[in-house]
């Protein structure tokens, strides 16, 4: 379901790390980390993975593990291409940094001065929204607001337009709340400033200068190249490849500026080196040292569980006892990734995997800096224990939950046209003993649902989530017995997935 399919940010619980250990050499620690990573792949059933390490300005380690396609002998190497998910966000912010460096914009500019059609739910917030607010995750919108749009065929312009209908759940700039749509809006500002597409700007200003020759921004760059990895979703405990052209594979490219880059560990290591070295890799400078410091400076406090850190501009910053780590992770339906660096230790790490919805990339990201600091914390063990506990709690809840089979209305009473300003039109019609629900930008999504209890129906939506396909559709009925709305329960965590009957 979407709660698992769009883990574009999988937040980790971070504790303090002690000072760098002197007793063990860098190479010895790196060897132990490699063994730790290989074991972790087995624990999480990850088919393939690629890792790169930067020290100073040089890539000192780059290696692939496992296979590009589960069940086949197709070895991953350091040049194998994966989606990289939300680690793309930092590229979009870096593009803005290049424009700030050139004097075309300022971080404190009002967004509407460059993009007059930009609009949030609150008119005052619209007027006061600054360029840096686009990337600091404190808009007031709910987490992952409106993310279903990319799965059901809506384009970037629609995603940007829909933000005016999304009611805030926090005050502007008050709390951390992770969204993807604002990075699409940020890219639109960059396009307005230059007259070029986000894809062109990425190629001209970052990928080509850094010689990231294996990186791309469309599905063909992943599926139609010689060394591209299949992406996988875990179904009944087994990694299942996602077919090319499927919504599960294609949606990140709609959200391109927020998560649509394909790349390899070797290429991403060049990017991590540029971040580690203040915008410069080798003789190539991408953005200024001043912009680097701005992008890496905390903007929004983050307090989730035991995690205490800050969101910067598409980077998380974790302050530690003797050092700090600046990092971001990514997740699409079929990958999890991690890019992080420690300026104090002058090292950076890239982890790319070809399986979605797991914590190995986060565990390895944290564990790497733990081990380089001489700490014996076991992050993989911690996350595995958390997973076991969550599964046990879910099983107990399911066992103790009994859904009464209460009658509803005749099927024809639910049939009709419904509309959401965010997700467009939805049609319900009766088909024998079931209802059919049709929605999407071109009404291309169809789900057959059966009565569950009262005004709730459920059905398997395998095209969206093969691993956990049951979705629930809750109809609202007024006191006169009229059906007035339908809510897509699993997509309504952000409060946006209710369609009103027309």
Last residue of a domain, one of 392, 419, 443: 392
Range scoring the smallest mean pLDDT among 14-18, 227-231, 276-280, 469-473:
14-18
**Is there a single domain that holds both residue 120 and residue 34?**
yes
Residue matched to tokens 């930008």: 441
pLDDT digits (tens, 9 = 90+) for 2-27: 444 434 443 433 333 334 434 589 99
Do residues 249 and 344 both lie within one domain?
yes
**Same domain assignment for residues 151 and 14:** yes
What mean pLDDT do residues 82-94 have?
98
pLDDT digits (tens, 9 = 90+) for 380-392: 999 999 999 988 8
In a domain, 236, yes or no: yes
Residues 213 and 341 in one domain: yes
C-beta neighbour count of 60 within 10 angstroms:
14
In a domain, 178, yes or no: yes
Distance, in Å, from the CA atom of 63 to the CA atom of 72, rounded to the nearest integer, reads 19
Is residue 67 classed exposed, middle or buried when 0-12, 13-18 and 19+ CB atoms within 10 A define those classes? buried
Residues 333 and 419 in one domain: no
How far is C-alpha 111 from the chain's CA centre? 24
Residue 371 belongs to a domain: yes
Average pLDDT over residues 464-484: 94
User: 405 lies in a domain?
Assistant: no
Average pLDDT of the chain is 93
Are residues 366 and 422 both part of a single domain?
Answer: no
Domain membership of residue 495 (yes or no) is yes
Q: What is the CATH number of the domain that holds 448?
A: 2.40.128.600
47 and 179 fall within a common domain: yes
299 and 336 co-located in one domain: yes
- Say if residue 365 is in the same domain as residue 415: no
Q: Does residue 239 contact residue 42 with C-beta atoms inside 8 Å?
A: no
Are 453 and 306 within one domain?
no
Q: Which of 114-128, 301-315, 401-415 has the highest mean pLDDT?
A: 114-128
Answer yes or no: is 397 within a domain.
no
In the block, residue with structure tokens 């070797």: 266
Q: Are residues 282 and 421 in the same domain?
A: no
CATH number, domain with residue 172: 3.40.710.10
Helix axes 379-400, 360-372, angle to 10 degrees: 150
- Tell me, yes or no, whether 323 lies in a domain: yes
Domain that holds residue 476: 411-501
Question: In this structure, are 472 and 356 located in the same domain?
Answer: no
Total count of domains within the chain: 2
Query: Is residue 241 within 8 Å of 232, Cβ to Cβ?
Result: yes
CA distances from 126 to 111, 381, 452 (A): 8, 45, 42
335 CB burial (10 A radius; 0-12, 13-18, 19+) = buried
Query: What is the rounded CA–CA span in Å between residue 2 and residue 342?
Result: 32
Last residue of a domain, one of 392, 419, 453: 392
Residues 89 and 99: their CA atoms lie apart, in Å, by: 16
Q: Which of 344, 360, 392 is the last residue of a domain?
A: 392
- CA 166, CA 496: separation in Å to the nearest integer? 7
pLDDT single digits (tens) 331-363? 999 999 999 999 999 999 999 999 999 999 999
The residue that leads in pLDDT, 1 or 483, is: 483
What are 168-197's pLDDT values in tens digits?
Answer: 999 999 999 999 999 999 999 999 999 999
Residue 36 lies in a domain: yes
């Amino acid at each position: 379901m979407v709660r698992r399919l769009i883990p574009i940010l999988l937040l980790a619980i971070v504790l303090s790390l002690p000072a760098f250990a002197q007793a063990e050499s860098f190479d010895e620690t790196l060897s132990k980390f490699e063994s730790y990573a290989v074991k972790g792949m087995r624990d999480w059933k990850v088919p393939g993975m690629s890792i790169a390490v930067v020290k100073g300005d040089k890539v000192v380690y780059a290696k692939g593990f496992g296979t590009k396609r589960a069940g086949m002998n197709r070895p991953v190497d350091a040049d194998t291409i994966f989606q990289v998910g939300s680690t793309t966000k930092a590229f979009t912010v870096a593009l803005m940094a290049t424009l700030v460096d050139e004097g075309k914009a300022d971080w404190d500019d009002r967004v509407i001065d460059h993009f007059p059609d930009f609009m949030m739910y609150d008119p005052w917030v619209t007027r006061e929204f600054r360029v840096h607010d686009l990337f600091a995750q404190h808009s007031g919108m709910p987490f992952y607001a409106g993310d279903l749009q990319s799965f059901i065929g809506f384009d970037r312009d629609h995603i940007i337009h829909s933000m005016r209908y999304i009611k805030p759940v926090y005050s502007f700039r008050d709390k951390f709340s992770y969204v993807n749509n604002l990075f699409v809006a940020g890219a639109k500002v960059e396009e307005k400033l230059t007259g070029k597409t986000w894809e062109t700007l990425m190629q001209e200003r970052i990928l080509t200068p850094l010689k990231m020759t294996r990186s791309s921004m469309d599905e063909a760059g992943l599926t139609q190249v010689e060394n591209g990895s299949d992406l996988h979703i875990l179904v009944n405990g087994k990694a299942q490849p996602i077919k090319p052209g499927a919504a599960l594979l294609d949606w990140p490219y709609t959200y391109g500026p927020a998560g649509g880059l394909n790349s390899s560990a070797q290429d991403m290591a060049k990017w991590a080196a540029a971040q580690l070295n203040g915008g410069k890799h080798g003789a190539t400078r991408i953005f200024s040292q001043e912009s680097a410091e701005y992008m890496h400076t905390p903007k929004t406090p983050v307090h989730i569980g035991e995690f205490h850190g800050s969101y910067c501009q598409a980077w998380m910053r974790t302050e530690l006892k003797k050092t700090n780590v600046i990092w971001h992770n990514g997740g699409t339906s079929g990958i999890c990734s991690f890019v992080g660096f420690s300026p104090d230790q002058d090292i950076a790490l890239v982890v790319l995997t070809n399986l979605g919805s797991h914590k190995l990339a986060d565990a390895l990201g944290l564990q790497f800096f733990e081990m380089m600091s001489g700490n014996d914390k076991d992050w993989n063990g911690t996350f595995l224990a958390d997973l076991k506990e969550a599964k046990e709690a879910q099983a107990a809840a399911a066992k103790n939950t009994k859904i009464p089979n209460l009658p509803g209305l005749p099927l024809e009473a639910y049939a009709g046209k419904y509309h959401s300003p965010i997700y467009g039109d939805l049609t319900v019609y009766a088909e024998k003993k079931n209802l059919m629900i049709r929605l999407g930008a071109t009404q291309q999504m169809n789900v057959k649902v059966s009565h569950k209890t009262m005004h709730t129906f459920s059905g398997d939506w395998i095209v969206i989530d093969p691993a956990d396909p049951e979705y629930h559709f809750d109809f609202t009925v007024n006191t006169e017995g009229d059906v007035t709305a339908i809510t897509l329960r699993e997509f309504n965590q952000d409060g946006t997935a209710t369609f009103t009957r027309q």
